[in-house]
A and B are shown apart, each in its own frame.
Chain A
Amino acid sequence: MTVQDAAVPQTEVQDYRNNSLLFLTFRRLFRQRNAQVGMVILGFLVLVAIFAPALAPYDPDRSLIGIEPVEKRAGPCIHALGCPSDQPQHIMGVDGNVRDQYSRIIYGTRISLFIGFSTIGLAVVVGTLIGAVSGYVGGWVDNVIMRFMDVILAFPSFLLAIAIITVLGRGLQNALYAIAVVNIPVFARLVRSSVLSIKELEFVAASRSLGASPLRILFVRILPNAIPTLIVQATLSIGAAILEAAALSFLGLGAQPPLAEWGTMLGSERNQVFTSPHLVFFPGIAIMITVLAFNLLGDGFRDAMDPRLAQLTKR
Chain B
Amino acid sequence: MLQYIVRRLLLTIPVLLGILVVTFLIARAIPGDPCRSALGERATDAACEAFNRRMGLDQPVPVQLAIYMRQILLEGDFGDSIRYSRPVSLLLIERLPVTLELGVSALLIAILVGIPAGILSAVRRNSKVDVAAMVGANIGVSMPVYWLGLMLAYVFSIYLKDTPLWLPPSGRLTAGVIATPFYRVWDLSIAPGTVGAQVADFLSNLVLFNSLITGQWNVFSDGIKHLILPTVALSTIPLAIIARITRSSMLDVLGAEYVRTARAKGLRERAVVLKHALRNALLPIITVVGLQTGTLFAGAVLTETIFSFSGVGRALFDAITGRDYPVIQAFTVVIAIGYVAINLIVDICYAFIDPRIKIE
Interface residues of A (CB under 8 A from B): 34, 151, 154-159, 162-163, 166-167, 239, 243, 246-247, 250-251, 263, 266, 270, 273-274, 277, 280-281, 283-284, 287-289, 291-292, 295-296, 299, 309, 312-313, 315
- Give residues of chain B (115-149) contacting chain A, Cβ–Cβ below 8 Å: 126, 138-139, 141-148
Contact B138 A292 (CB under 8 A): yes
25 contacts between A and B (CB under 8 A): A34-B138, A151-B22, A158-B298, A158-B301, A159-B298, A159-B301, A162-B301, A167-B30, A247-B144, A247-B302, A250-B302, A266-B147, A270-B150, A273-B151, A274-B153, A277-B151, A280-B147, A280-B151, A280-B154, A284-B148, A287-B144, A288-B143, A288-B144, A288-B147, A295-B141
Contact B320 A166 (CB under 8 A): yes
Q: Mark B9-21, 1 if CB is under 8 A from A, else 0.
A: 0000000000100
Chain B interface mostly: helix
Contact B126 A315 (CB under 8 A): yes
Known pairs A166-B320, A309-B248 / 12 extra A-B pairs, C-beta < 8 Å: A156-B298, A156-B339, A243-B142, A266-B144, A274-B169, A277-B151, A277-B154, A280-B150, A281-B151, A284-B144, A288-B142, A313-B251
Nearest chain-B residue to A33 (Cβ)?
Answer: B131
Contact A159 B297 (CB under 8 A): yes
Contact B143 A163 (CB under 8 A): no
Give chain B nearest CB distance to A291 CB in angstroms.
4
Residues on B with C-beta less than 8 A from A299 are: 138
Contact A167 B147 (CB under 8 A): no
Contact B30 A157 (CB under 8 A): no
Q: How many pairs of A and B residues are in contact by the CB < 8 Å rule?
A: 109
B316 in the interface (beta carbon within 8 A): yes
Contact B139 A284 (CB under 8 A): no
Residues on B with C-beta less than 8 A from A289 are: 142
The complex places the Cα of A296 from the Cα of B244 at a distance, in Å, of 13
**Chain B interface residue bracket vs A:** 35 or more
Contact A156 B126 (CB under 8 A): no
Q: Knowing A166-B30, A246-B144, A270-B150 are in contact, say whether A292-B317 is a contact too (CB < 8 A).
A: no
> Which one of B19, B139, B146, B323 contacts A250 once the chains associate, using CB atoms below 8 Å?
B146
B62 in the interface (beta carbon within 8 A): no
Give chain A nearest CB distance to B245 CB in angstroms.
12
The complex places the Cα of A295 from the Cα of B332 at a distance, in Å, of 31
The complex places the Cα of A34 from the Cα of B142 at a distance, in Å, of 14
B295 in the interface (beta carbon within 8 A): yes
Residues on A with C-beta less than 8 A from B144 are: 243, 246-247, 250, 263, 266, 284, 287-288
Residues on B with C-beta less than 8 A from A158 are: 295, 297-298, 301
Nearest chain-A residue to B146 (Cβ)?
Answer: A250
Contact B317 A287 (CB under 8 A): no
Q: Lowest 7 CB-CB distances: which A-B pairs, in order?
A: A284-B147, A158-B298, A292-B142, A291-B142, A273-B150, A156-B297, A277-B154
Residues on A with C-beta less than 8 A from B248 are: 309
Residues on A with C-beta less than 8 A from B29 are: 167
Residues on B with C-beta less than 8 A from A291 are: 141-143
Residues on B with C-beta less than 8 A from A266 are: 144, 146-147, 150
Give chain B nearest CB distance to A289 CB in angstroms.
8
Nearest chain-B residue to A267 (Cβ)?
Answer: B146
Residues on B with C-beta less than 8 A from A162 are: 301, 317, 320
The complex places the Cα of A263 from the Cα of B150 at a distance, in Å, of 13
